[in-house]
Amino acid sequence: MVTTEVEGRVTRDLATFPFRWDMHYPGRVGRAAFEMEFSREQLPPGPLGIYLPKIGSAYSVSLNGIVIGQDGEMRSGGGADTGKGPRLISIPPELVLSDNALSIRIRADSGRKAGVSAVTVGDWQHVQSLYWQYWRVRTLGLIVVVVFSLLVGIACFALWLTQPAHPDSPEQRRDPLYLFSALAELCWALRVSDSLIEAPPLPWPEWGVVPVLALGAWGCCTALFCMEVVRWRDARWAKALRVWMAGLMLVGSVMVTLGLAGGVPALVTTWYAFTGLTFLVFSVIFTKRSFGRQGTLAGKLLAGAVLLNAAVGLSDLIRLRTGAGAGDISYLYYSSILFGLAMALIVIARFRSVSARARDLLQTLEQRVRDKETELLLSYQQLEAQSREQARIGERTQILRDMHDGVGSHISAAIRQLQGGVAAKEEVLQTLHESLDQLKLSIDAMHLPAGDINAVLANVRYRMGPRLESAGIQLVWDVDLLPVVARWDEKATRQLQFMVYECLSNVLQHARASEIAIAAKNIGPRAEVSIQDNGVGFDVEKEAGGGRQTLRQRAETLGMQVFMRSQPGETRVELVIPWG
């Protein structure tokens, strides 16, 4: 006997388990009380048990007027749903009589598949074995499905974030196949987990919209995944299908919300019908295409999974809608694992293919890099050899230029003196001596250490000392030990040597001096080299001749400064050399 209360109206009638609330009162909320009797010829030696595969949305069970089990809020709806899992209730032996009255009261929410399944009362061990047998299939099995879908979805999403569609593509676009498979599996995990979550994070009916739309999103993402596999993405009708599926989801969010909140289950059923019809037509076309002449192995694998799930879904529809118990299981949840496996295999194959292309591209790039490195090394060696050769040529050219300007000019002057017949023998001899000194210094300059001022001055003293002595000029030497000028190379050192020589040559030729002093000092940030004589002097203000002009040009090239002052009895030339 069942007593129901719906919107303040109380009815009483006979009922047979299983009792489905939505089939008797679609779109309505209410309460129901079931009264039944059972007898025991002998009192049980141990406890009895009651096993219910499904009872909810909330319940209270009494035996002979004493509550022996209850769960959920009986006064108000929208909270937890106890109908998500089986229940096992223990009956103490002292409560069992020869004639027993069993009372089951439920609170039913619309759209939650509330009701009571077949009730089994018996020995504790017997009903416990039935409970665990059903729990392993119904609850543990769904946990396995959820975990599997989550693992596949997370793995595919990670691949979408990290793997490009084409490793040799410059834009490095992500592969949508990974994204669609990830979204499909994550949506399916959300859908299946709804069958396990008794206390949802949102109140009812707001939470009811989530698993329904998750099912629709699963179908859309699955269809998009299949289109990627058989390369229908760029087909002319593909864009229209994507717009249609987006419209289904948008309209579905409104229809499902109104259907559950307003107690109009026909809206939800209508949306299910349009969505199911859409994917049924797509599945037929996809299966026909996959098993055709142009079908691929991946497409056939997916089509096989689609056919299997379609057959299982149809079987569930017939079984659950034609008198099956309220606690019966939807086997589509479990057959979906095969579809998930097919997805995973295709994703793995795509990943291996992309990885193989990436490895090939990487090996090609590495080979190209090695070839380029070899070419660059050869080019560098050639440039280095050319640079050394150019440096040698430049050095030789400079030496020859210095010899031409120095030795050549002195020899030319001696020839003119001899041809003119006016110059005295001593003058011609002096010119030839200067030419010889210049030649020796040019040869010595080839072996001067870079930046070594002391070496330059020592070499000049070695070469010019005998000349000065033979000319009756006393050499006063006051040279400190100076550091090396780090920024100078051999060419710069050679330039300094010719500058010092030019100063001494001018003294020999024009000063008529009896003493010459060479000094070199380290004064803070610079070195000062001075050449001073006690000759007749010259007018510094007059336009500089060739020797003085050459001296200043060399100094400017080396970053030096030249200071000259002269008067009868004292002429001083200072060469200022900065260290930096």
Q: Starting at the edge strand that comes first in sequence, how are the strands of the sheet with 87-91 ordered? A: 87-91, 48-52, 120-123
The Cα-based distances of 78 to 119, 194, 469, 518, 571 in angstroms read 25, 15, 122, 110, 114
Indicate the angle between helix axes 332-403 and 176-193, nearest 10 degrees: 150
The Cα-based distances of 198 to 79, 129, 190, 193, 207 in angstroms read 9, 23, 14, 10, 11
What residue type is 56 in one-letter code? Answer: G
Distance CA 68, CA 62 (A): 5
Phi and psi (nearest 5°) for 88?
A: -130, 120
Residue holding tokens 């019908």?
A: 273
DSSP string, 180-200: HHHHHHHHHHHHHHTTT-SS-
Query: In the structure encoding, which two tokens stand for residue 545, read together?
Result: 């001749």
Q: Which helix (H) or strand (E) holds 350?
A: helix 332-403
- Which of 123, 87, 35, 140 shows the shortest CA–CA distance to 326? 87
- Which of 194, 230, 244 shows the shortest CA–CA distance to 306? 230
Indicate the angle between helix axes 141-162 and 176-193, nearest 10 degrees: 160
- Which of 400, 395, 516, 520 shows the shortest CA–CA distance to 455? 520
Per-residue pLDDT of the chain (580 residues; tens, 9 = 90+): 999 999 889 999 998 888 988 888 888 899 999 999 988 777 777 888 999 999 989 999 999 999 999 999 888 878 889 988 899 999 988 888 888 999 999 999 988 888 998 899 989 999 999 999 999 988 999 999 999 999 999 999 998 888 776 554 545 578 888 899 999 999 999 999 998 999 888 888 889 999 999 999 998 999 999 888 888 888 888 899 999 999 999 999 999 999 988 888 889 888 988 888 888 888 888 888 888 776 678 778 888 888 888 788 777 766 665 554 445 678 888 888 888 888 888 888 888 887 787 788 888 888 889 888 888 888 888 888 888 778 777 666 666 666 555 555 556 555 655 666 656 666 666 667 666 666 666 666 666 788 889 988 988 888 788 878 888 889 999 999 999 998 888 888 888 888 888 888 888 878 889 999 999 999 989 999 999 999 998 888 775 556 678 788 888 888 899 999 999 999 999 999 998 7
- The DSSP code for 139 is I
What's the whole-model pTM score? 0.63
Query: In the structure encoding, which two tokens stand for residue 132, read together?
Result: 């665990």
Residues 6+ apart with CB under 8 A from 206: none
Phi and psi (nearest 5°) for 378?
A: -65, -40
The Cα-based distances of 254 to 111, 258, 259 in angstroms read 16, 6, 8
